[in-house]
Structure 1
């Protein structure tokens, strides 16, 4: 019976997890409720950090963390002239090791804490300040890593050698989602962490700039990598080794995203992504002849690729016209399309793109696309053929500031019953009578969310 009561309480307390004040009230009922609710209350206690030392909640958190630091860590900090806050919030020893309940190692909270506690003083010395911050950061990370067990998500933005800290295998071995910033993370540390983390499913990498051996090895060791996001800081070098390791992970990859320069990565891996379901290609324009050559490599590789399971396609400023081919080879599985092209886009290609969507995307639910006033018949075909469409977002150039009421008439007459969210860019010009007629004719249908931005 007691086990049943405990299970019921855990279910109730988990439902209250996003209502911290209500959950906090539960721990005050009695000791049993306190022991049951406390791990849930402290599972994600750092999500609401506001980075302000003067806030009472932050002072309490900082004091608690310093209280829980091992004696040797406190001595190390004091020996290096790092003053610890006066702990006034605890009249007695804390009842729990609260850090051990946390499901996260919170880098933003740790950074804010360090910046709040290590401040410029008279006779400011930048090197001393940096040294103090590094030492304090080190001891706080050690505390978290030694106490947090089997975390599932981590945002890696520190130069600390995390893999060397006591408890790192227990803390990181079950990691499933990882964000890393290569401005902080070294190749050596990636080699070391690859011995601990081998089951990453979602990997996001910021500030890519070259074929880093440790990064390539880290990706290669992942057994179930399903999602890969790459953000490049430079387009000067093209990463071939990174492309090759992506090709080796192709059998498990379902989602791939790259920005802001696709030419930073060799495209040779693209034809291997036969199981891809989600593709994002976000790009800026070419800068020189070599960039144009690398863009042509991407165009050829994409033309050779086929993504029969593709459900989400997003492209931004691609320097070539390839979206039609990708859509036509998607076997009608696409649910979401978001295409943003250059301002001087080819009207003929826009018509071809609209035709490809109306013909090959019967299950599409969300569409963001740029059109011309001459494309209204194509929009009508999309509305007729895409019977599951829920959201429609249209952009237009309309330099001549022409009236656009005709598109409203087509939407109200031919749109499927599922459509209930419509967005027009500000270049769409509607008359008052056109809008009144539109909303009058929409009566009796599903309530509409309408934007003219």
Structure 2
């Protein structure tokens, strides 16, 4: 329901019964009073709530809707960068009532309160930012989420994410970190923290700086449950990236559970380097899935097709700006 949703839903026969069974609701916080009143009266079984916080004219009645829910499991808060801070703080604090039941949380802006620290049973956290990546998310510094299993982020400073991972209890099974700027030290600290604190990691998306390829080897040896690895490579930061070393480490040190590898890069290595990697991997782990995302400057189609016939499943995708999912 967008903020311009003004239908007289109370006039629809059976509306109360229908609304009483709603489990997912996505609406603007600028929603019309008459519509919101009917939702507050009828809806108390919402399990997943998505709120779009407007720049202005937010309806404070949305707080009553939040408080009326019996078991709220998932929240998704999309906040306009310059939305009224007073309203945002009230909304965040109202979610604390559901701290014991909320398991999944997605937010697009740094919180203005410490409400995340109340989510003691949180299993999935998805952080996104519409601001510059060097804006500190200091709310993550002392955040402890002992049951966190899935962490996804977009444009969140690496140092803040590293501190968050350090404060988990080894339950993380999936981490997805995008192309956020990684300096060499920050990248090293992040990779080290993952293999020290996440022994059960199964799905990992992370950028690898050239100077930290050996840290990836330690991660592969330490994380024996890893089965899907998404490697981001920035040729802008590492124009002379050592693909030979990366492929050597992957074939030598990858756990036997690893069956899917995805490379996301601006520029591929020479075909001979790929051929050597395929040959070495085929002897070690023939049932692999390889996905390549790259720009149009290179065409390895012939090589890829030759290895498909030998049992290595290879998918080719043209490079674009947003990272892909594993599915």
Range into which the TM-score falls when normalised by the shorter chain: 0.7 to 0.9
Query: Aligned residue pairs: how many?
Result: 287
Match of 2:123 in 1: 277
Compute the RMSD of aligned alpha carbons: 2.4
SS in 2 for 1:325: helix
Structure 2 CA distance for partners of 1:382 and 1:319, relative to 1, 3 Å:
closer
* Rounded Cα–Cα distance in structure 1 between residues aligned with 2:287 and 2:4: 44
> Which structure is higher in helix share?
1
Structure 2 match to 1:267: 113
Aligned residues of 1:403 and 1:428 also touching (Cα < 8 A): no
Task: Identify the structure with bigger relative contact order (alpha carbons < 8 Å, sequence gap 6+).
Answer: 2
Contact 2:23 2:46 in 1 (8 A): yes
- Structure 1: how far apart are the matches of 2:45 and 2:146? 26
Deviations 1:130-170 (A, max 9, x none): xxxxxxxxxxxxxxxxxxxxxxxx99983213244221121
Q: Provide the residue aligned with 1:204 in structure 2.
A: 50
Aligned with residue 448 of structure 1, among 288, 303, 308: 288
TM-score (structure 2 length as normaliser): 0.80
Distance 2:33 2:122 in 1: 28
- Report how far residue 330 of structure 1 moved: 1.6
Report the equivalent of 1:253: 102
Gaps of at least 5 residues in structure 1 are 1-153
Q: Which residue of 2 aligns with 1:230?
A: 77
Residue in 2 that maps onto 1:329: 167
User: Does 1:427 find its partner at 2:273?
Assistant: no
Q: Is 1:391 equivalent to 2:231 in the alignment?
A: no
Aligned to 1:137: none
Q: Which ranges in structure 2 are unaligned for 5 or more consecutive residues?
A: 294-327
**Cα distance change, pair 163–309 in 1 and its aligned pair in 2 (3 A):** farther
**How much has 1:171 moved relative to structure 2?**
1.2
Q: Aligned runs of 1:116-131 on 2, under 5 Å?
A: none
Determine whether 1:436 maps to 2:285.
no
**Cα distance per residue 1:180-203 (max 9 Å; x no partner):** 2446x3244223212211011111
Mapping of 1:6-155 within 5 angstroms?
A: none
Other structure's SS at 1:405 match: helix
Pairwise CA distance, 1:233: 3.3
Correspondence 1:161-172 to 2 at 5 A: 161-172=8-19
Contact 1:403-1:431 within 8 A present in 2 as well: no
Match of 1:374 among 211, 215, 219: 211
Which residue of 240, 251, 259 maps to 1:412? 251
**Cα offset for 1:241?**
0.7
Aligned-partner Cα distance in 2 for 1:409–1:450:
16
* 1:9 match: none
2 CA distance for matches of 1:433 and 1:159?
62
Q: Tell me the TM-score normalized by structure 1.
A: 0.59
Does 1:317 pair with 2:155? yes
Is contact 1:163-1:193 (8 Å) kept?
no
Give yes or no for contact 2:228–2:258 (8 Å, CA) kept in 1: yes
Contact 2:93–2:113 (8 Å) recurs in 1: no
Structure richer in strand, relative to its length: 2
Distance 1:414 1:316 in 2: 29
- Summarize the Cα distance change of 1:182–1:268 in structure 2 as closer, same or farther, 3 Å threshold: same
